[in-house]
Structure 1
Amino acid sequence: MPRSTSAVSALQKLEAERKALDARQRDLESKAAQEVGEVILGTGLEAFSAKGLRQVAEALGKLGEAASIEKLGARPQARSAGVPKSPQD
Structure 2
Amino acid sequence: MQTQHEQTPGRIEVHHMQPVIQDRLLKLPEVLELVPVASSTWRRWVAEGEAPAKVKRGRSTFWRLSEVQDFINGSWQKSQ
TM over 0.5: no
- Give the number of the structure whose alpha-carbon radius of gyration is greater: 1
So what's the TM-score if we normalise by structure 2? 0.29
Q: Name the structure with the higher strand share.
A: 2
If asked which structure has higher relative contact order (CA below 8 Å, sep 6+), I would say 2
So what's the TM-score if we normalise by structure 1? 0.28
Q: Name the structure with the higher helix share.
A: 1
